[in-house]
Structure 1
Amino acid sequence: MSERVMLVDDERDIVAFMRDALEDEGYEVLCAYSGEEALALLPYKPDVVVLDVMMPGMNGYELCEAIRESASCPILFVSARRSEEDRVRGLMAGGDDYLVKPFGLREFKTRIYAHLRREKRDRSASDRFLRFGSLAIDAQGREARVGERAVPLTGREFDIVLLLALHPSQVFAREDIYERIWGLEADGDSATVTEHVKKIRAKLGAADPELNPIGTVWGVGYKWQA
């Protein structure tokens, strides 16, 4: 079955442009023109969501947070807003990538392919099922659960958890985590790791207040301490 991409943008010409490019590559494409329409399409389980920031009604940041309540697939923001603050806000809302309009078709399709490739690689990298007290990590299914409750981690939040959990007690510098998860060519810095770890801790703590497996090594980075 072909991978499924959901496009969310109130500008129909842009949606048609992206849809045609992706369908030419063999992807199945879902199209939504508002946040409400996008949420209604979530039961179709898209493998990647491409999301505009500026839309009437529910904006892209709000929609991203709503999607993260039930989905952990990669989310790629596309926006004419190009400031660092906008990119950081998108990542903090649960996004995995940010592409500035106008963009070239080649880069757009390459980013979609790269996210899907990483998802496939992560699913096949390990068939280990890791347990730490009430926390269970399914590396193949890319899911973390506390008891019977799924923890709504984003793709990169899960990548950080899996990296640390597979190397218990090993200390990882923030810069090392950033390079491993975001890649050497990423446009950002290691401060993003700190924000992601805060969100991971908050989500795990909401599921189990006694659960705090990520320890801080002051001045260095983080380690798995469960």
Structure 2
Amino acid sequence: MKSKIMLVDDEKDIVTFMRDSLEAEGYQILVAYNSEEALRQLPQQPDLIVLDIMMPGMDGYQLCEEIRQHVSCPILFVSARNTEHDRIKGLVVGGDDYIEKPFSLKELKTRIFAHLRREHRNSHKAYHRIHAKNLIIDTLAYEVFYQNEKLAFTYREFEIIKFLVMHPNQVFSKEQIYEQVWGIDSLGDSTTITEHIKKIRAKIQKYDPLSTYISTVWGVGYKWEG
């Protein structure tokens, strides 16, 4: 799936110009003509934001600071303001790049591609090391650490942890967990999940007794507390 880009600019002609070109590249485009529209669309989790500075009401600098309270995706400022002070301020308030108007579409697309590629590399590197409260879970090395202490789990116990931690706050029945970990064609019994989770909890609580990691949703199943 192509990345989702939000364009925030009060100049509709420029937005149309950028949107048409980026959609032709296969990107999903969100459009906002002011800060209020941009903030309303943040729950759609854009992968990158192209943000103008000079807008009525809340300007791009203020909006960038507000956005940074909610998402961490790359933010590229585009502006006719081209002083060193403007560029530095854009980076200080949370921007990742600064492009002066007028700009070429080729440069814009190249910078967007470069930032998204870097985000992809960073997420890929971090993907196998998941920080969950006081635990670090390495899904490739099959290791769980509390601070510098390595916790010992069996293969099945780790597979349960891995499955749940990669779907935080999502409730799964014992049958769903069993099928995911043991396989749909396994001849075992899903009631073993209860015993495995009991052991997982006991091992974690030995190191971190005050935190809840796997909670029971009565009558439904279990979930990882995100």
Q: TM-score, normalised by structure 1?
A: 0.57
Corresponding residue number in structure 2 for 1:87: 87
> What is the Cα deviation at residue 123 of structure 1?
1.3
- Quick one: distance in 2 between partners of 1:37 and 1:130? 33
- Quick one: distance in 2 between partners of 1:136 and 1:109? 36
Corresponding residue number in structure 1 for 2:193: none
Corresponding residue number in structure 2 for 1:15: 15
Q: 1:137 to 1:34 in 2, by over 3 A?
A: farther
- Quick one: distance in 2 between partners of 1:64 and 1:52? 10
Corresponding residue number in structure 2 for 1:42: 42
Identity over the aligned pairs, expressed in percent?
Answer: 61
- Quick one: distance in 2 between partners of 1:108 and 1:18? 9
1:1-226 to 2 correspondences below 5 Å = 1-129=1-129
- Quick one: distance in 2 between partners of 1:59 and 1:137? 41
Letter in 2 for 1:4: K
Deviating 4+ runs (over 4 angstroms): 133-138
- Quick one: distance in 2 between partners of 1:98 and 1:137? 36
> What is the Cα deviation at residue 127 of structure 1?
4.0
Letter in 2 for 1:36: E
Deviation track 1:12-57 (CA, whole Å, cap 9, x = no partner) reads 0000000011001000000000000000000110000000000000
Deviation track 1:73-93 (CA, whole Å, cap 9, x = no partner) reads 000000000111000100011
Letter in 2 for 1:110: T
3-state SS, counterpart of residue 29 of structure 2: strand
- Quick one: distance in 1 between partners of 2:33 and 2:137? 35
- Quick one: distance in 1 between partners of 2:46 and 2:101? 22
> What is the Cα deviation at residue 128 of structure 1?
4.9
> Which segments of 5 or more consecutive residues in structure 1 lack a partner in the other structure?
139-226
Q: TM-score, normalised by structure 2?
A: 0.57
> What is the Cα deviation at residue 130 of structure 1?
7.3
Q: 1:135 to 1:12 in 2, by over 3 A?
A: farther
Letter in 1 for 2:97: D
- Quick one: distance in 2 between partners of 1:22 and 1:84? 28
Corresponding residue number in structure 2 for 1:163: none
3-state SS, counterpart of residue 65 of structure 2: helix
Tell me how large the CA RMSD over aligned residues is: 2.2
> What is the Cα deviation at residue 124 of structure 1?
1.4
- Quick one: distance in 1 between partners of 2:127 and 2:14? 40
3-state SS, counterpart of residue 10 of structure 1: coil
Letter in 1 for 2:50: V
Corresponding residue number in structure 2 for 1:203: none
- Quick one: distance in 2 between partners of 1:50 and 1:108? 9
- Quick one: distance in 2 between partners of 1:137 and 1:101? 45
- Quick one: distance in 1 between partners of 2:104 and 2:93? 25
